[in-house]
């Protein structure tokens, strides 16, 4: 982050920054305005002192915050905010409300237990008149009819908030289409996309790669929101202020690129498998090029989950390019490739379909997370059942899994070692 942006995001004038850093005002202005000073000791000193000063000065300021939606985005954010503020969770799911009020974790996250003692409670509905800030983290599923995200619940909540509280800033964390936030015509609404991974939402919130904030040029409470977002993370993540549309585009295009990368390496793996080559050699040989990178390159049955499938489709609608349109097509092609490979293996058994059982180690879209929505394994299970095969999803009875004719596992596990000869997986690097 630039020194000037850091100072402004903390609500400081140049005179105040000069006093905090003990750097003469004229010299301090040079640090902000002249790029040649960026690597100087004075610049680094000023950056560190301003950053530390703001953290200390804000630590005792308490906000009354509402977080609408207790999915992994809203829940993780609310828990972290509750370490220094009073947080009210709002969710229509009574089970989540009950668990939260009993200080029992609502989502699967390896670090969640460390933050359950925060100052928060949960309700199904609330009066918004006394809140200082409201965060909206509601799900936005893909609507087949409108070919975009279903945002009606977000709009309903915003209307309710504004009928009771005209002035409090509202921060939308949900994924929305490009242009949605601007269409609300409310300068005190902000859009801050999340980039969290299921299972590590707390860690990703504490150590974000960046904080994106879409703002209206007439917004009066930008500094307040920037400080609040910054207070959650412990690293010095860059904060980028931009227009609503730019922030919305960052979210959609980031997920589209990740989906594209998954699809790209899966396409390579399909080709290599068809030609009886060693996929691991090919991918490692490519990935050692620093421009490509040895990460996010492990083949799978296809991408799935809450975000990548729907975000990729909506991004393609916005951009209308062959590259974007081909991502979902490639993923479907990959799932069909895996299906055909399994059928070829099963044909060698010379058994009738109704006598064959295909086992699935799990149907999760992602390793370590109980979420099978749009997962490639769940899609494959339906495809095999439609063709007349029996299927079994591992539920802890290893004997049943062992008796299956073949076992599909998107990611390998040590638990599968005793039956590795009948396991089909494209997990080349055994990430677990």
Active site residues: 307
Is residue 349 a contact partner of residue 356, using CB atoms and an 8 Å limit? Answer: yes
CA of residue 326 relative to chain centroid, distance: 22
Number of neighbours of residue 127 by Cβ within 10 angstroms: 10
3-class SS at 357? strand
Give 190's DSSP letter.
E
Q: How far apart are the first and last CA of the chain?
A: 35
Q: Which residues share a beta bridge with 122?
A: 89
Contact between residue 361 and residue 409 where contact means Cβ atoms under 8 Å apart: yes
Residue in the block written with tokens 């729907």: 310
Tokens of 302: 């296809």
Give yes or no for a contact between 380 and 301, defined as CB atoms under 8 angstroms apart: yes
Q: 89, exposed or middle or buried, with CB in 10 Å at 0-12, 13-18, 19+?
A: buried
Distance, in Å, from the CA atom of 138 to the CA atom of 143, rounded to the nearest integer, reads: 15
Residue 221 main-chain phi, psi, to 5 deg? -120, 30
């Amino acid at each position: 982050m630039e020194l000037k942006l850091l100072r402004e995001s903390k609500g400081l004038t140049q005179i105040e920054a000069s006093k905090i850093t003990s750097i003469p005002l004229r010299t301090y202005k040079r640090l902000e305005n002249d790029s040649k000073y960026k690597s100087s000791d004075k610049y680094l000193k000023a950056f560190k002192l301003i950053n530390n000063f703001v953290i200390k000065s804000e630590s005792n300021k308490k906000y009354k915050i509402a977080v609408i939606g207790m999915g992994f985005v809203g829940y993780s954010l609310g828990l972290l905010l509750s370490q220094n503020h009073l947080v009210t969770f709002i969710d229509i799911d009574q089970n989540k409300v009950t668990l939260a009020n009993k200080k029992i974790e609502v989502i699967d996250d390896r670090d969640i237990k460390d933050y359950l003692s925060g100052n928060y409670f949960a309700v199904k509905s609330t009066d918004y008149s006394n809140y200082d800030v409201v965060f909206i983290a509601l799900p936005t599923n893909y609507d087949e009819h409108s070919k975009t995200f279903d945002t009606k619940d977000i709009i309903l909540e915003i209307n309710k908030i504004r009928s009771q509280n005209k002035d409090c800033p509202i921060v939308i964390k949900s994924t929305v289409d490009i242009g949605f936030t601007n269409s609300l015509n409310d300068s005190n609404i902000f859009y801050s996309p999340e980039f969290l991974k299921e299972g590590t939402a707390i860690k990703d919130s504490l150590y974000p790669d960046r904080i994106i904030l879409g703002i209206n040029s007439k917004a009066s409470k930008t500094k307040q929101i920037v400080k609040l977002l910054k207070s959650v993370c412990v690293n010095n993540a860059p904060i980028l202020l931009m227009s609503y549309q730019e922030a919305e585009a960052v979210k959609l295009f980031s997920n589209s690129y990740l989906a594209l990368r998954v699809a790209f390496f899966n396409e390579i793996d399909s080709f290599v498998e068809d030609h009886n080559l060693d996929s691991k050699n090919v991918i490692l040989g490519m990935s050692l090029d620093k421009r490509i990178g040895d990460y996010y390159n492990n083949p799978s049955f296809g991408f799935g989950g809450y975000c990548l499938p729907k975000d990729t489709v909506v991004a393609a609608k916005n951009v209308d390019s062959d590259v974007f349109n081909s991502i979902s097509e490639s993923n479907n092609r990959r799932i069909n490739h895996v299906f055909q490979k399994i059928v070829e293996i099963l044909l060698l058994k010379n058994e009738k379909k109704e006598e064959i059982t295909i086992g699935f180690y799990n149907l999760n879209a992602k390793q370590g997370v109980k979420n099978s929505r749009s997962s490639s394994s769940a899609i494959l299970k339906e495809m095999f059942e439609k063709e007349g095969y029996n299927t079994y999803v591992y539920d802890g009875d290893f004997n049943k899994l062992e008796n299956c004719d073949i076992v599909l596992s998107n990611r390998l596990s040590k638990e599968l070692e005793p039956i590795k000869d009948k396991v089909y997986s494209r997990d080349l690097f055994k990430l677990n």
